[in-house]
């Protein structure tokens, strides 16, 4: 089963189990189980679940008797790190300035979505987790993309590619599919039967060598 691999520290291992959550806004996270654990991996990593490639950073993990397991956060895993307090003044202060300043302190890269830029004037950045800057200036309108960059602004809604639907639940508003070739992401529109809407959260799992994706529909 080579469709799911984990790469870090120059080494690529096969993923035998995975549980990844991609929210509509915020930071994606994933737990991966590997079939071997020759060396303890750390730092930047890449997770390939079929054609879905996630670039993130190992937060914790370890080598066990039958392999290794790692917990990974999107991007540089920097948004939970503390930044010192500071403030901005003047009518020419832009949202991107305050966000990029915080991002630079924690090793993240920011992409501004069209229409997201605005003047913020005075802004008081409290000391604490860097993500609070995003929460204050662009609440529920930012996310860490699969490539590890942090996007600020509203997602552009596009149609999801056609996938092989296994099941859908009208009451729970979920669509389950299994398709390692197609890349489906939050913010895209997906439909199955009478259920249709924008994907708010994706849960991608590999259990017993089977990749399965569950999409929550808004």
Contact footprint for other proteins (CB under 8 A): 42, 58-61, 80, 84-87, 89-90, 120-129, 136-137
Decide whether 83 or 217 has the Cβ nearer to other proteins: 83
Decide whether 37 or 61 has the Cβ nearer to other proteins: 61
What DSSP letter does each residue of 72-105 carry, written as one string?
EEETTS-TTSEE--EEE-STT-BHHHHHHHHHHH
CB of 216 to other proteins, least distance (A): 22
What span, in angstroms and rounded, lies between the C-alpha atoms of 149 and 156? 16
- In a 10 Å sphere around its CB, with 0-12 CB exposed, 13-18 middle and 19+ buried, how is residue 193 labelled? exposed
CB of 116 to other proteins, least distance (A): 16
CB of 16 to other proteins, least distance (A): 21
Decide whether 28 or 168 has the Cβ nearer to other proteins: 28
DSSP 8-class letter at 26: B
Burial pattern 93-110, b for ≥16 Cβ within 10 A else e, equals bbbbebbbbbbebbebbb
What span, in angstroms and rounded, lies between the C-alpha atoms of 37 and 19? 19
CB of 200 to other proteins, least distance (A): 21
CB of 149 to other proteins, least distance (A): 23
Measured in Å, how far apart are the chain's first and last C-alpha atoms? 33
Decide whether 86 or 176 has the Cβ nearer to other proteins: 86
The helix/strand/coil state of 36 is coil
What span, in angstroms and rounded, lies between the C-alpha atoms of 46 and 80? 20
CB of 134 to other proteins, least distance (A): 12
Decide whether 16 or 133 has the Cβ nearer to other proteins: 133
What span, in angstroms and rounded, lies between the C-alpha atoms of 67 and 49? 18
Decide whether 90 or 114 has the Cβ nearer to other proteins: 90
């Amino acid at each position: 089963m080579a469709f799911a691999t984990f790469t870090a520290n120059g080494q690529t291992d096969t993923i035998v189990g995975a549980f990844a959550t991609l929210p509509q806004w915020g930071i994606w996270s994933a737990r991966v189980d590997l079939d071997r654990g020759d060396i303890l991996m750390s730092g930047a990593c890449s997770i390939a679940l079929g054609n879905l490639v996630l670039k993130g950073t190992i937060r914790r993990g370890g080598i066990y008797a039958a392999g290794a397991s790692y917990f990974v956060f999107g991007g540089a895993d920097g948004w939970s790190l503390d930044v010192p307090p500071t403030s901005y003044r003047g009518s020419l202060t832009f949202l991107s300035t305050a966000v990029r300043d915080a991002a630079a302190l924690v090793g993240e890269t920011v992409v501004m979505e069209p229409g997201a830029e605005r003047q913020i004037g005075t802004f008081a950045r409290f000391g604490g987790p860097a993500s609070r800057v995003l929460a204050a200036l662009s609440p529920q309108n930012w996310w860490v993309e699969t490539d590890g960059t942090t996007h600020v602004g509203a997602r552009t809604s596009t149609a999801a590619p056609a996938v092989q639907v296994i099941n859908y639940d009208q009451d729970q508003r979920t669509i389950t599919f299994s398709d390692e070739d197609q890349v489906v992401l939050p913010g895209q529109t997906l439909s199955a039967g009478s259920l249709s809407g924008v994907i708010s959260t994706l849960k991608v799992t590999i259990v017993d060598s089977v990749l399965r994706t569950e999409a929550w529909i808004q």
